[in-house]
Amino acid sequence: MKPRMMAGSSGDTKNPKIKPRPIVRIGIFLISHSIVVSLLCFAAGIVALILLPLFAKNTYISENALMPGSANSMLSSQDVKEANKLVKDIIGLKLSSEEARIEIPRLIAQHMADAGSEVYYHKFHPQMSQFYPLHFFSGSPNSGNIKENHSCVSHAINTVGIIRAPRGDGKEAIVLVTPYNSEKVELGEALSLALAYSIFSLLTRVTWLAKDVIWLAADARYGEYASVTAWLRDYHIPQFSALEKLDADICFESGYPHEQNENQIRTDVISRAGTMAAGLVFKVVDKHKETDKDTLSIYAEASNGQMPNLDLINIVNYLAVHRQGLRVKVEKLYFLLDSVFLKIVGDVLETIGKVARSLNARWEFGIPVADYIDGAATLASSMYHQALGVPTGSHGAFRDYQVDAITLEISPKVSLNNEVRILEFLLRGGRLIEGTIRSVNNLLEKFHQSFFLYFLTSPSKFVSVGVYMIAFGLLVVPLPIIAASLYCDANVLDSHCIKEQQKSGPASTNEAGIAFQSWRWLHAAKVVLVIHLWGAIVSLLPYLMYQFPEMTPTTSMLSWGLLSIASLLFLHQILGSPYSCVTVNQSPNREWAVLKSMMIAAAGIGLGLMSIINFATAQIGALLIVPMCLMVHPLKHVYRAGRLRTLAVTACNISLGFIGFPPAAFLFLKAYSEGLGSVSAGDFWNWVESLWAWNSATYLYLGHEGYRLKHCRHGHCQGGQNQRAGEQNDRYRR
C-alpha cells in the first residue's frame, strides 16, 4: 500500500485538487497539531500508568500438564522427625567457624549419601566482579579464565546430591537450593536444610519421579548468589584445566571434609543431571513477627528485568493458598502504602466504580481502595526491581541459563522454640515444596505456556505485556510526532527562506542548496552520532580505571569525571565542533529544529528498543526523558519571547537537566533520605560499581549526561544515549 500512497502524495504537488488519502490526512493532522497531541498522549500515558493496578487480571495456570495439587502429599511426620534430627545436629555442632566450614558439608553429605543419592562436593573461589566491555558481544557468559592465587582457606564448598529418577532418562532435572552460611549457621538456615533433607529423603523413595532432583546446599560464605552462580557455571561450562586439578590435590587435605564412609565422595568431578526444568531456592526466616498464618514470600525478579514463567509462581501460589493455608506475599514498597496521592486516586476509582455499577450492574471495573493501594505498591516494587536489573535473590543466577527459578522465603507465624511447632512448620513447608516438585515433574516441555513479560500486583494478580505496553506507547508516541513536525516545519521554513532569497538575488547561486535540501539533516545526524559516541566512550571508561585497583571511590569518581570531559574535548577537536560548518542559507532556527528532531528520533528509537529488552527501565526512562526531549529549547532563542515565558522555560530546562543528570539526581535523593552530611562523591561510584557487577542496564542511564546541561543551553539534549548503550550492555547478557 505504501508506494501507492507515496505516489498519491507526489501527485499532489502536480494537481492540487486531488485529495490525499485518509492515512496521509491523519498524518498531516497529527503533525500540524503536534503539541496538543503530544501533551494529550503524554498525559494519557501517565494516567494509564497510574491505572495499571486496575487492569490487573487474575492469574491462572496455563499449562495443563502441571496439575498442581492433584495428588495427595506423601511427606509424613516420620520424614519430618528425621529432618528435625538434622536441625539438632547442625545447631548442636559447637565448633569454631574454621571447623564448621568443613564439618557442616560433611554432615549434609553424609545425610545425602545415607538417603541413597549421589553426592559430590563442589569447591569454588569467589569471583571478582569484573567489567568486560567487549564481552557483551561474545557468546560465552564465562568471562575468561582468570586464575587468581587463592589460598586453600578461601574455598567455599557446595554440597550437591543427585537423585536419579526411576522413571526418567536423566535428560531433565529439578534443582533445589538451600543457601546457608557455613561460618555461622542460624536456626533458619538449619531449618531450610532440614526442609530440603526431608523432601530429599522422601524423593529417593518415591516411584513417580520422572526428572532427576538435584539438591544444592550452597555455601553462602561469599554471598548466596556467588555460590549458586559458581555451581551453575561449572555445571554448564566444564573446565578442563590441569592447573585446577593440581590445585585441588594440594588443597585436598585441608580443604575437604574427611570421609569416614567407605563410599568415597567425589570432589573432582561434577555430576550432571540434564537440563534444568525449574529451580527452587528456599529459605526459612525466623522473623519473630507475630502473624495469624505462616507466611510465604515469593521473589522472582532476575537480572535485567527478566522474570521466570508465570506458571511457576502460579503453582506455588495455588499450593500455598489452597493446600497448605499459607499467606503468600510478594514484595512491595511499604512507604507507598501511606501515600496520600494513591489513597485519593483509589477513592476516586472506587467511587467511579460504584457509580458505574449503579448505572449498569454489569460494569465492574472499580476496585476497593485498599486493593488499589496494595496493588500499586506491589507494582511499583516489581517495576523498581526490574528496572534496577539487580536480581532479588540467588534465583537470578538460573535465569542466565534460561532456567525458571524463584526464591521461596517461608517464615513461621510465631517464634520456633518448641519442637511441636518446628515439626508442624516443617511438614507444612515440606508439603508445599513436594507439591511444587510433583507439578514440575509432570511437565512434558520447558515452561512456555504462560507469560514471561508481566508485572505482579499481588501474588494472584498480574498485568500482562499487552496492557502495560499501551501505557508505554502513549508515553513515547509524542517523540516521533514531534520529530516529524519539527522536521517538516524546518523544511517549510527553509523553502520559504530560499524563495525569498531567490526573489532578491540571482537564482543560480542557491541551486546547490536547493538540490541537497532534503539531505541537510545529515549534519544534525553527525552531531548526534558524535555525542552518542562520546556517551559510549564515557560508559566504557571504567574498564580502563579498573586497571588501577587501589583507587578509592572518591578519586575514581573524580577521575572518571575528568576523563569524560577530556574525551569530550578530544572528540570536539577531532571531529570538529558541532557548530563549525553551518551553511550560509541555513537559518539558526531551522538548524536547531532539525537537530532536535534528530535527537528526538534517536531517543525514540532507543526507548523503543529498551522497552523490548527491559521494559521497566524503558518506562522509567521514558518518564524522565520524554518531558526532557519535549521541553528542550535553545536558551539563545528563548529570549525573544516574553520575560515570564523565558523564565519558565529556562527553569524547566535546567531542572530537568539536573534531574536527568544521574550523579546529581542520585546525590539529591541520598541527601534527601539520609541528610546532607552523609553525601560524598564516592557514594555514586560505589553505586555504579554495584550496578556493573550485575551488568545492569540501568548502569548506562548513568554517567554520560553531563552534556545535557550544556546542550540545553545550545538547544538540544541527548536522550537516547543511555538506552542505546544500555541495550548493548544488556543484549549480550545471557
**Is 230 in contact with 402 (CB distance < 8 Å)?**
no
Which residue, 331 or 400, has its beta carbon nearer to another protein? 400
Enumerate residues 298-337 that contact another protein by CB under 8 A. 306
Asked if residue 466 binds another protein (CB under 8 A), the reply is yes
Q: Measured from the CB of residue 270, what is the shortest distance to another protein in angstroms?
A: 23
Residues in Cβ contact with 96 at an 8 Å cutoff, skipping those fewer than 6 apart: none
Kindly list the strands in the beta sheet with 57-58, ordered across the sheet, starting from the edge strand earlier in the chain.
57-58, 461-464, 454-458
- End-to-end alpha carbon distance in the chain: 40
Site for another protein contains 402 (CB under 8 A): yes
464 binds another protein (CB under 8 A): yes
448 binds another protein per the rule CB under 8 A: yes
Q: Name the residue among 615, 51, 64 with its Cα closest to residue 307.
A: 615
Query: How far is 517 from 501, CA to CA, in rounded Å?
Result: 15
Q: Which 3 state secondary structure label does DSSP give 713?
A: helix
Q: Which of 84, 74, 70, 85 is nearest to 204 (CA)?
A: 74
Closer by beta carbon to another protein, 122 or else 385: 385
Where does 389-520 have alpha helices with state H? 396-399, 419-442, 465-476, 478-504, 511-515
Q: What is the pattern of x (binds another protein, CB under 8 A) and - over residues 59-78?
A: --------------------
Nearest to 119 by CA among 208, 209, 222, 204: 204
Shortest reach from residue 3's CB to another protein, in Å: 5
Q: Which stretch binds another protein (CB under 8 A): 106-114, 161-169, 411-419, 605-613?
A: 605-613
**Distance (Å, whole) CA 79 – CA 194:** 10
Cell numbers found for residue 95: 565448633
In angstroms, rounded to a whole number, what is the distance separating the alpha carbons of residues 372 and 185?
A: 40
Among 660, 683, 727, 729, binds another protein (CB under 8 A): 727
Residue choice 40, 44, 206, 465 for contact with another protein (CB under 8 A): 465
If the CB atoms of residues 115 and 600 are measured against another protein, the closer one turns out to be: 600
- HSE-up of 630 (CA within 13 Å, CB side)? 22
Query: What phi and psi values does residue 156 have, to the nearest 5 degrees?
Result: -120, 150
Choose which of 608, 662, 663, 719 interacts with another protein (CB under 8 A). Answer: 608
Q: How far is the CB of 237 from another protein (least distance, A)?
A: 15
Burial class of residue 53, CB neighbours in 10 A (0-12, 13-18, 19+) = buried
State the cell numbers at 605: 528509537
Near another protein by CB under 8 A: residue from 207, 518, 580, 673: 518
Stretch that binds another protein, among 39-47, 117-125, 191-199, 446-454 (CB under 8 A): 446-454
E strands, 220-316, in order: 275-284, 295-299
Which residue matches cell numbers 522536521?
487
Place of cell 512491595: 332
Q: Which stretch binds another protein (CB under 8 A): 98-106, 331-339, 600-608, 616-624?
A: 600-608
Among positions 139-158, residues that touch another protein (CB under 8 A) are 139
The size of the interface with another protein (CB under 8 A), counted in residues, is: 47
Task: Please identify, using beta-carbon distances, which residue of 394 and 729 lies nearer to another protein.
Answer: 729
Angle between helices 34-51 and 22-32 (to 10 degrees): 90
Stretch 1-60 residues interacting with another protein (CB under 8 A): 1-4, 6-7, 10
Nearer to another protein, 327 or 734 (CB): 734
Q: How far is the CB of 512 from another protein (least distance, A)?
A: 5
Within 121-140, which residues bind another protein (CB under 8 A)?
134-135, 137-139
* Sole binder of another protein in the list 292, 519, 644, 672 (CB under 8 A): 519
**One of 508, 547, 580, 673 touching another protein (CB under 8 A):** 508
**Contacting range for another protein; rule: CB under 8 A; set: 122-130, 162-170, 560-568, 598-606:** 598-606
Cα distance between residue 420 and residue 570, in whole Å: 72
Q: Considering beta carbons, is residue 159 or 382 the nearer one to another protein?
A: 382
The tally of CA atoms less than 13 A away on the side-chain side of residue 487 is: 20
Query: Contacting another protein (CB under 8 A), which of 341, 516, 570, 579?
Result: 516
Q: Which is nearer to another protein, 334 or 519 (CB)?
A: 519
709 phi/psi in degrees, rounded to 5: -60, -45
Measure Cα distances from 489 to 94, 365, 479, 485, 513 in Å. Answer: 80, 43, 15, 6, 18
Please tell me what DSSP assigns to residue 266. Answer: B
Q: In angstroms, what is the minimal distance from the CB of 562 to another protein?
A: 26
Q: 247-250 long-range CB contacts below 8 Å, 24 or more apart?
A: 248/123, 250/152
Determine the interface stretch with another protein among 246-254, 596-604, 621-629, 648-656 (rule: CB under 8 A): 596-604
Q: At its nearest, how many Å lie between another protein and the CB of residue 601?
A: 5
Residue tagged 539558526 (cell numbers) = 588
Segment near another protein (CB under 8 A); pick from 194-202, 421-429, 622-630, 725-733: 725-733
What 8-state DSSP symbol labels residue 303? G
The three grid cell numbers given for residue 704, joined into one nine-digit string: 554520560
User: Residue 602 belongs to what H/E stretch?
Assistant: helix 588-613
Tell which one of 197, 235, 521, 707 touches another protein (CB under 8 A).
521
| Stretch touching another protein by CB under 8 A, among 276-284, 350-358, 711-719, 724-732 | 724-732
Of 451 and 685, which CB lies nearer to another protein in the complex structure? 451
Instruction: Look up residue 734 and give its three cell numbers.
Output: 545471557
d(CA 222, CA 181): 9
Check binding of 452 to another protein (CB under 8 A).
yes
What cell does 724 get? 542505546
Binding of residue 734 to another protein (CB under 8 A): yes
Shortest distance in whole angstroms from residue 507 CB to another protein: 9
State in angstroms the smallest separation of the CB of 25 from another protein: 17
Name the residue nearer to another protein (CB basis): 491 or 646: 491
Q: Which of 487, 534, 661, 701 binds another protein (CB under 8 A)?
A: 487
Angle at 212 between CA 208 and CA 215, to 5 degrees: 115
Q: How far is CA 564 from the centre of its chain?
A: 27
Q: Minimum Å distance from CB 508 to another protein?
A: 7
Q: Quick one: which of 235, 299, 318, 451 contacts another protein (CB under 8 A)?
A: 451
- Interatomic CA distance for residues 719 and 607, integer angstroms: 9
Name which of 464 and 690 has its Cβ closer to another protein. 464
Question: Is the separation of the CB atoms in 509 and 72 below 8 Å?
Answer: no
Q: Smaller CB distance to another protein: residue 3 or 549?
A: 3
For residue 177, give the nearest of 477, 407, 352 by alpha carbon. Answer: 407
Beta carbon of residue 75, minimum distance to another protein (angstroms, whole number):
32
Segment 97 to 116, residues that bind another protein, using CB under 8 A: none
- The distance of closest approach from Cβ of residue 404 to another protein in the complex, given in angstroms and rounded to an integer, is 9
Q: Pick between residue 96 and residue 518 the one whose CB is nearest to another protein.
A: 518
Give the interface with another protein as residue ranges (CB under 8 A): 1-4, 6-7, 10, 134-135, 137-139, 306, 402, 446, 448-449, 451-453, 464-466, 487, 508, 511-512, 515-519, 521, 525, 597, 601-602, 605, 608-609, 612-613, 724, 727, 731-732, 734
